[in-house]
A and B are shown apart, each in its own frame.
Chain A
């Protein structure tokens, strides 16, 4: 029972990371109807930026954190201008192939610069964690859970309560109508990409002290996050978060009770099960194409 509680805590912590990346997926999907296959690389690049500033250059953690997030905003903008925007009028297939290309470019550019050895990034806090009854609460996991909760609330406030959020929603629902109402669709899409890159980056920085900082972390996180969006219901914000948490928990228990080397395979099995039995996910609705 104690072990189960401990695993539950760890699962929620890792699941929160998947949820953050999944949120980035969903935001871009809703704004552009495109799945950004480089979403995971955003996390990976941000983690490496932290390694550059906080470890290699030895700058303060908070300063490196801010610089890394600013760097992610810049990357999101470049990504939009270089990969998505020129292809916005093409069908989805060329666009996803281009984002796959971008993901390979990002991952392997970092590999070429930093080499294949995984890097280590310290956690934010000096205190490693606190013991609460039978469960040991790791401080980094606590931070991840706290940040995710704050971001979910912020997200809700931003999209439901601010004008900018409403404009973004309008753009994602009907681009033509939004532009007729005087909303600049291209800047809304730009904001979406910047915001998702920052979200993805945040997830990467938070998870980096738990995992190693490696080239593969991007694609691993992206696959899990994508599975999370399908479990939750594609395109659904609440679904992405629930799906992410569920996946984190399933995976942690699977690794503890079934098999460690195949830990990364559980996400895939859950994904296939959902695709076969409930493709619309927990919350999603199936939408038919209009004739």
Chain B
């Protein structure tokens, strides 16, 4: 781990925002009113049942908005997790006379464990594995519910399910469920702006870049999946208490599909959308009861809905509404001006920041990188050049952990990082940009850079509070000249500016070594000049840069030291001008007679 230098000033945010709870007071007031209404209004039994169903289902659908909406991972077993909660409360209170609260907690815990185990076995693999495994899991749970009669009563289901003493009447129990819904809704709504929520969104937008900015991708996905499972279990536990009877068909694959449709229809990205989708899909079938008289018909319509929503309204109803609102709302607020960016690269090791010895990467028989040594001195700009196919980008990918080295050793500031996954290398002080830009495209420039600033081990953000993060990110954006456009979405920036945002994202993390992968590619000549000037400003603060580029003018002017690769081997290394005059280098670039 890198350590801050001794003269680090104490970080204090410039502006302190009001505490969250006060800013969100209107939400809690509205929620309290809803709970009060649920507790006092007179409903007939039919309406009460519909409200009970909508409330408990919405909690499970909130779970989907976490895993699918925030993190981009599919879960087709939400009904199974819902069933875990429901059967825990059902069997616990009816068969074993246990306390309702104990059963509810056990149900959530069971769902959490099942979700975590399922996620851990599958989430390292591609998304279609997860889809199939969750479907299989759903089928197994249904099989067990029907066949393990000694435990679950089989197809007969569980009846006479208890409620807590405090909420014996249906009306008070509904009020309790609404209160739970409001709490979960607040949690899910707020989650997207927490560290974990940002990590989830980053994983959804660009998994590779998320790893490289310091996010543990696998753990984030498992957390999202487990969280979604817990919310499923919680919804199910409340559901069981509400209806006093559960049976296996209520937790079948068809119900998982219903949950998915609810979430897609309303808008998977936000809890408001989830609530809208749940409400609509519970009410619409009630209005169109005749559809239920033909088995299969209403589910067929759900299937059609799923296809149509995905094609024509990918962000759901709420996404559609907010997009409309954004159009006539005033433009994004210009953020307050920020101070100068301070780069205080850690200095733990000696004179050499990056020491690469005997690094090799083979793809089958192809030796893309073959026994390369590189030592990057502290401070200044070091360039890695070579003709196309010489192994430059492969070297960079091995350095940042996207590829595993076949052989060799990598020391960053005295720490061995050869076998670390990308996010740990980032935590150890490595920053990088990509040749083909990898930003988190659904977020604003500021959010992208904030995620960079959040690097574990970044000493410039103090305790990592939201205010300090924003301030650090604003400084980095201002440093690259885009501070006044911080709140704009990535898609509104030109290619050259997106490159600068990527650099700002890496700088905000206060790295020890910055790897730039062909930063001049695709830039016009004035942008190249700006880039050159930016590199000088970065280097002048003592941050070491390792740059790969084809632009010889940029490389020869900016870099003090050059390493040249050809066919995966190092053919020259040394002070810039000497290397560029080296006959092997000239022949590698221009060919020999």
Contacts and interface: CB of A to CB of B under 8 A. Distances in A.
Contacts of B303: 101-108
A97 B313 CA distance: 13
A237 interface: no
Contacts of A16: none
A112 B295 CA distance: 5
Contacts of A268: 136-137, 139-140
Contacts of B128: 34-35, 92, 96
Contacts of B311: 86-87, 98
A214 interface: no
Interface residues of B, number: 52
A171 B316 CA distance: 33
B305 interface: yes
Contact of A93 (B127, B253, B299): B127
A279 interface: yes
Interface stretch (A44-52, A60-68, A156-164, A223-231): A223-231
Interface stretch (A146-154, A241-249, A270-278): A270-278
A265 interface: yes
A141 interface: no
A111 interface: yes
B218 interface: no
Contacts of A106: 303
Given A93-B127, A101-B306, A267 B143 contact: no
Interface of A, secondary structure class, is helix
A101 B143 contact: no
Contacts of A115: 295
A1 interface: no
Contacts of B402: 288, 291
Interface in A17-51: 34-35, 37
A118 interface: no
A265 B310 contact: no
Interface string B132-169: 11011101100100010000000000000000000000
A6 interface: no
Given A104-B306, A112-B300, A271 B131 contact: no
A108 B310 contact: no
Interface string B219-235: 00000000000000000
B434 A265 contact: no
Interface in A181-236: 215, 219, 223, 226-227, 230
B74 interface: yes
A94 B253 CA distance: 19
B320 interface: no
A143 interface: no
Given A96-B127, A288-B402, A291-B208, A272 B139 contact: no
A112 B131 contact: no
B294 A101 contact: no
A83 B307 contact: yes
Contact of A101 (B72, B124, B137, B304): B304
Contacts of B54: none
Given A101-B305, A272-B133, A108 B127 contact: no
A115 B231 CA distance: 35
B481 interface: no
Interface in B194-219: 207-208
A248 B132 CA distance: 18
Nearest to B120: A276
B459 to A, nearest CB: 28
Nearest to B132: A226
B122 interface: yes
Interface in A41-93: 82-83, 86-87, 90, 92-93
Contacts of A83: 307
A272 B121 contact: yes
B129 interface: yes
Nearest to B299: A108
Report which residue of A86, A103, A115, A291 has the largest number of chain B beta carbons within 10 angstroms of its beta carbon: A291
Interface in B249-307: 253, 257, 260, 264, 294-300, 302-307
A138 interface: no
B296 A112 contact: yes
Nearest to A267: B136
B426 interface: no
Contact of A110 (B74, B132, B139, B296): B296
A100 B136 contact: no
B76 interface: yes
Contact of B125 (A34, A105, A227, A275): A275
A111 B125 contact: no
Contacts of A276: 121
A134 interface: no
A96 B131 contact: yes
Nearest to A286: B125
Indicate the member of A82, A90, A112, A227 with the most B CB atoms within 10 Å: A112
Contacts of A265: 140, 143
Contacts of A104: 257, 299-300, 302-303, 306
B406 interface: no
Contacts of B207: 289
Contacts of B408: none
- Most chain B CB atoms below 10 A, which of A115, A116, A275: A275
A234 B275 CA distance: 37
Interface of B: 72, 74, 76, 121-122, 124-129, 131-133, 135-137, 139-140, 143, 147, 207-208, 253, 257, 260, 264, 294-300, 302-307, 310-311, 314, 393, 396-397, 400, 402-403, 434-435, 517
25 contacts: A37-B131, A87-B311, A92-B127, A93-B74, A94-B314, A98-B311, A100-B306, A101-B307, A104-B299, A104-B300, A104-B306, A105-B303, A107-B296, A108-B298, A108-B299, A108-B300, A265-B140, A271-B136, A275-B122, A275-B125, A275-B129, A276-B121, A291-B393, A291-B397, A291-B435
Given A111-B295, A112-B300, A116-B295, 5 more contacts: A90-B314, A101-B302, A105-B304, A230-B132, A272-B121
